Amino acid sequence: MNKLKGKIALVTGASRGIGRSIALHLAQAGALVVVHYSKRKEEAESVVDQIKQDGGSAFAISADLSTFNDINNALLIIS
Q: Is the pLDDT of residue 78 over 90?
A: no
Task: Compute how many other C-beta atoms are within 10 angstroms of the C-beta atom of residue 65.
Answer: 12
pLDDT (0 to 100) of residue 18: 95
- At 1, is the pLDDT very low, low, confident or very high (cuts 50, 70, 90)? low
Q: Which residues of 33-42 are buried (b: 16+ CB within 10 A; e: fewer)?
A: bbbbbeebee
Q: Each residue of 26-57: pLDDT tens digit?
A: 999 999 999 999 888 999 999 999 999 999 99
Give the Cα separation of 37 and 41 in Å (integer).
7
Give the Cα separation of 63 and 70 in Å (integer).
5
Give the distance, in angstroms, between the CA of residue 39 and the centroid of all CA atoms in the same chain: 14
Say how many Å lie between the first and final Cα of the chain, rounded. Answer: 24
Average model confidence (pLDDT) across the chain:
92
